[in-house]
Amino acid sequence: MKEIAHHIPDEMLAAYAAGRLPATFEMIVAAHVSVCDQCRAALEAHEMLGGALMEAEAAPRAAVAGDLLERTLARLDGPAPATTTRPAPARMGIYPGPVAEALRHAPPRWRAAGGGVRQQILAEDGKSSVRLLYIPGGQAVPDHGHHGTELTMVLQGAFHDETGHYGPGDVELADESLEHTPVADPQMDCICLAATDARLRFRSLLPRLAQPFLRI
């Protein structure tokens, strides 16, 4: 995998570490940190800092000495504490462990979404969803905006839009201010993991008519 250029925003990593990230985006964060050393290290730092602060809050006020900051920083610089969390799920081909687990370690069951694009919905809750998208090389996804936040991670191939170029492991964060037309690079079909917390906003009539059936 090439060097990852686009990462999970730090505030999302902090929210994930604290258990405050909306469930819609948890799979993408987990998938990205499983392949990105930089974000995995940042997440571990957030987790250790959160643990240190929880210990300080639980201690009697008299025990919270003025060197709390120094002790917290020393803890971040030291070896990681032993963990009792279960092992990370196994990777399946291009699919990171969390995605493979959602697929139950079976190939995706693609459904046509128009224009050669295919999808499989992995999780859905009201207007929020997590899905795999298959975009043929050179194909564009219909121009769209957002009523909320969309987080997209590339698993295979690459795409480009108005904000830049995204390859394997890269994550794009889109919000209500962005309207874009992602186009898959022609060299290889692009497969992405995408999560949205609100329905997309399409300009063209046909995508709008198909939207209730595609649940996107």
Please report whether residue 1 resides in a domain: no
CATH number, residue 37: 1.10.10
Q: Is pLDDT larger for residue 135 or for residue 213?
A: 135
Integer Cα distance of 43 and 39 in angstroms: 6
In sequence order, what are the residues at sequence separation of 6 or more whose Cβ sits closer than 8 angstroms to the Cβ of residue 152? 28, 166, 171, 172, 174, 182, 192, 193, 194, 195
Q: Is pLDDT larger for residue 85 or for residue 103?
A: 103
CATH number, residue 148: 2.60.120.10
Rounded to an integer, the average pLDDT of 179-185 is 95
Rounded to an integer, the average pLDDT of 170-185 is 95
What is the per-residue pLDDT for 208?
63
Q: Which domain holds residue 203?
A: 101-214
Could you give the count of Cα atoms lying within 13 Å of 83 in the half-sphere of its Cβ? 10
Same domain, 43 and 117: no
Element counts in the chain: helices (H) and strands (E): 6, 11
What is the per-residue pLDDT for 200?
77
pTM equals: 0.81
Same domain, 164 and 205: yes
SS3 content of the chain, % helix, strand, coil (to 5): 30, 25, 40
Residue 55 has pLDDT above 60, yes or no: no
Residue 125 has pLDDT above 50, yes or no: yes
Same domain, 108 and 155: yes
Q: Out of 63-77, 137-151, 199-213, which region has the weakest mean confidence (pLDDT)?
A: 63-77
- What is the percentage of the chain residues whose pLDDT exceeds 70? 77
Integer Cα distance of 21 and 12 in angstroms: 7
Residue 98 has pLDDT above 60, yes or no: yes
Integer Cα distance of 96 and 88 in angstroms: 10
Same domain, 147 and 46: no
- Look up residue 70 and give its two tokens: 């120094």
